[in-house]
Amino acid sequence: MARLLTLLLLTSLAASAAAAGDPHSYADPSQFLVRHVALDLRADFTAHRLEGTAELSVERIDPAARELYLDTRDLEVRSVQRLDADGRVHNLDFLLDARDAVLGSRLTIELAPRENEPKLQHLRIGYRMSPEASALQWLEPAQTSGPHPYLYSQGQAINARSWIPLQDTPSVRVTYSARIRTPPELVAVMSAARADPTVLPPGEFRFEMRQPIPSYLIALAIGDLKFQSLGDRVGVWTEPSQLAAAAQEFADLPRMLEAGEKLLGPYRWDRYDLLIMPHSFAFGGMENPRLSFISPSVVAGDRSLVAVIVHELAHSWSGNLVTSATWNDFWLNEGFTTYFERRLMEALYGKRRADMEDAIAYESLVEAIDDAKAAGLPGDTSLRLNLAGRDPNEGISDVAYEKGRWFLGFLEGRFGRLAFDAFLRGYFDSHAFMSADTATFRSYLLAELARPGAPKIPVAEIDEWLYGTGMPVTTPAIPSGVFDVVDRAAAEWRAGRLAANQLPVRDWLPQEWVRFLDSQPAELADAKLAELRTQFHLGADGNAEIARSWLALVVRTAYEPAYPDLERFLLSTGRYKLVVGLYRDLARTETGLELGRAIYAKARPGYHTTIRQAVERLLQPVTSAGRDAGRCGSPATLRHGPSDECPQSHSRRG
């Protein structure tokens, strides 16, 4: 009974959350819900456009609603038609609003109620997308590992609207199908089940995603792709020249999936494959369902960076099965996933390894909190954010990931691991294929805490985690001892009691290198840096995390001899965590800022829009008019063309 009540309460809470609205979408899910999207798109690699139709199956929720609002950004909408069951086609009136810099353009479709209207109405939208579509990155052959071009999409957070007109809010879930036509020598993959291509004409691919997912998880990649199986349910896709290395690196995938199911319950997406991307891919990994997109920087040669895979796999539950209802609740996706990532790393590779990841990440959390406070944005250190009017990508920070992770660590401590695992299983089972916001999770937690035998946790302690700034007083002890040996060696070396060639590095894991480099101060002498650089061949190559930590030290100490390596690194990878962190470090000083701008001018064409926007936010001059001044077209913005966020409004009636 109590469970039933909780469920009822939850359903009404989830509904009210959606009605209360997602500040990053024009959709009104209380009027209409898009239930299914059928895409029919052709990829033009010369014009850098996808063109075709999206057929939406729309359910009326409010009997009186007259207009359907969809999200779009930079789409050229040609026609909107209603397809009736008798085969008749009706043109519908539509209006594309002027472009909002963050949200894009609202598409309004006339859809007044009709007598005996079917439960689902089918609307076909004819359109093509801009070569600048924010979701898409078109790569020239030179940017791939072979002689072919490449295209991929990145939907999260609000980019799906730049390639599909839909309700682009994570509070709405859709199933989807697609027909994709490519040049005949290329292969298309999507976050969906793939029809056997051998029964289709060359260059045609068909997909079907039967489980309802939020719009940001609809994903496409096209390139010269090959597949290698790694087990019954798992495998890896990549460009042919990378396939053997990738298969070798991710041989643990079957074990990872089993560990995930053991902790979190059945895997509900049938297959789990990886797509290893070209170097400009914007993220370490992106949890597109059935097919995580993975940065090639994770292929380290020694399986040392597989935490990214474990992380994306964990999103199959936290994020993809139960989804943050708005980007203000992003921590529900990433905090849970980071917690599961560490639990799975512990189960698969031992506690020491998980502790290392925790300790490194905690340092970076402390820095992120300090930075946000210094920037006058203390609200950004809360788990629950308020990003209305801002780009939701501004919510990407260690706060969502690591503060979220430690909130769950705090709860685990109070419940005890066994009871907490049961709590989590219950939460994921009862919310499967639903979206939840912070309030939903909070009331589920409070209801569970009210049960007999549950631990007593004061609500104020929970709310301090969810809504308070900085780290709560109830933060658990962070594992610190794992790096004692490294820290001692680092101190001895700094004090000159140990030469670089006497450091005990023989068995160091990349994580120990990262700690060693991250712990060096800004005052380190050039001679010391030179000693490290020569002794250990530190530069732009090799393990990407070690290179990042080394180059962060180079920036921190303004060690000019290594600037060419910094530039090479920033030109050769497009991954958020590697790139944005270094530009942030550069932006801390005037000379760094200048160097950052010079490098960025060269690197920009190789970065995905999400990365461009994040870097431009960091490199733009702060003026007395506030941190957003100079964003659109003013002479103060960067030298190379207008920012992607600047409006070019157009509107028309069909």
Catalytic residues: 312, 401
Of 18, 299, 308, 321, the one binding ligand BES by CB under 6 A: 308
Q: Which of residues 445-504 bind ligand BES (CB under 6 A)?
A: none
Nearest in space to 437 (alpha carbons), one of 331, 294, 580:
331
Site residues for ligand BES, 398-427, by CB under 6 A, read 401
Nearer to Zn ion, 31 or 337 (CB): 337
Pairing label, strands 94-96, 173-181: unpaired
Q: Is 156 in the site for ligand BES (CB under 6 A)?
A: yes
For residue 270, what are the CA distances in angstroms to 125, 195, 289, 310, 320? 31, 14, 10, 17, 13
Within residues 314-333, the interface with ligand BES by CB under 6 A covers: 315
The stretch among 41-49, 306-314, 405-413, 470-478 that binds ligand BES (CB under 6 A) is: 306-314
The conformation of residue 403, written as its DSSP 8-state character, comes to I
**Helical segments of 537-607, H only:** 544-557, 563-572, 576-586, 590-603
Q: Which residues within the stretch 615-634 sit at the binding site for ligand BES (CB under 6 A)?
A: none
Please, which of residues 384-413 interact with Zn ion by CB under 5 A?
A: none
Residue 306 CA, chain-centre distance (Å), reads: 17
Q: What is the 3-state secondary structure (H, E, C) of 115-159?
A: CCCCCEEEEEEEEEECCCCCCEEEECHHHCCCCCCEEEECCCCCC
- In the complex with Zn ion, the residue whose CB is nearer, 222 or 310, is 310
Residue 440 to residue 100: CA distance in whole angstroms: 30
In whole angstroms, what is the distance from residue 385 CA to residue 374 CA?
17
Q: Is the peptide bond before 347 cis (omega within 30 degrees of 0)?
A: no
| 441 phi, psi to nearest 5 deg | -65, -45
**C-beta closer to ligand BES: residue 31 or 573:** 573
User: How far apart are the C-alpha atoms of 78 and 91, rounded to whole Å?
Assistant: 11
Q: Which stretch binds ligand BES (CB under 6 A): 268-276, 311-319, 470-478, 599-607?
A: 311-319
Give the three-class secondary structure for 51: strand
Residues 308-337 as x/- pattern, contact with Zn ion by CB under 5 A: --------------------------x--x
Cα(160)–Cα(162) distance, integer angstroms: 5
Among 148, 179, 311, 384, binds ligand BES (CB under 6 A): 311
Out of 396, 424, 490, 579, which residue is the one contacting ligand BES (CB under 6 A)? 396
Give the whole-angstrom CA distance, residue 111 versus residue 82. Answer: 9
- Please count the other Cβ atoms lying within 10 Å of the Cβ belonging to residue 161: 32
Looking at residue 377, what DSSP letter applies? -
* Contact present, 32 and 77 (Cβ < 8 Å): no
Interface with ligand BES in residues 356-375 (CB under 6 A): none
Tokens of 408: 């769950």
Closest CB 282 distance from ligand BES, rounded Å: 7
Range in contact with ligand BES (rule: CB under 6 A) among 60-68, 73-81, 310-318, 373-381: 310-318
> Would you tell me the crossing angle of helices 544-557 and 526-536 to the nearest 10 degrees?
160
Give the residue with the Cβ less far from ligand BES, 286 or 369.
286
- Whose Cβ is closer to Zn ion: residue 60's or residue 405's? 405
Please count the residues of this chain forming the interface with ligand BES, following the rule CB under 6 A: 18
Contact flag: residue 550 with ligand BES (CB under 6 A): no
Stretch that binds ligand BES, among 51-59, 307-315, 462-470, 638-646 (CB under 6 A): 307-315
Which of ligand BES, Zn ion, none sits in contact with 355, Cβ below 5 to 8 A by type? none
Cα separation, 546 vs 460, whole angstroms: 40
Burial 605-626 (b: 16+ CB within 10 A, else e): ebbbbbbbbbbbbbbbeeeeee
Looking at the Cβ atoms of 174 and 611, the one nearer to ligand BES is: 611
Shortest reach from residue 400's CB to Zn ion, in Å: 9
Q: By C-beta, is 257 or 503 nearer to ligand BES?
A: 257
Q: Measured at CB, which residue is nearest to ligand BES?
A: 284
Concatenated DSSP letters for 166-206? B---TTSEEEEEEEEE--TT-EEEESSEE--GGGS-TTEEE
Out of Zn ion, ligand BES, none, which partner does residue 156 contact, by CB within 5 to 8 A per kind?
A: ligand BES
Q: Tokens 């290392």 sit at which residue?
A: 356
157/408 with CB nearer ligand BES: 157
Which residues from 51-110 bind ligand BES, rule CB under 6 A? Answer: none
CB of 164 to ligand BES, least distance (A): 17
Q: Is 312 in the site for ligand BES (CB under 6 A)?
A: yes
576 binds, among ligand BES, Zn ion, none (CB under 5 to 8 A by kind): ligand BES
Binding partner selected for residue 546 from ligand BES, Zn ion, none, CB under the kind-specific 5 to 8 Å limit: none
Q: Print the binding letters for residues 266-295 with ligand BES: x by CB under 6 A, - otherwise.
A: -----------------xxxxx--------
Backbone torsion region of residue 121, taken as left when φ is above 0, otherwise alpha when ψ lies between -120 and 50, otherwise beta: beta
Site pattern 558..597 for ligand BES (x: CB under 6 A): ------------------xx--------------------
> Which two tokens mark 276?
């290893």
Interface with ligand BES (CB under 6 A): 156-157, 283-287, 307-308, 311-312, 315, 334, 393, 396, 401, 576-577
Interface with Zn ion (CB under 5 A): 334, 337
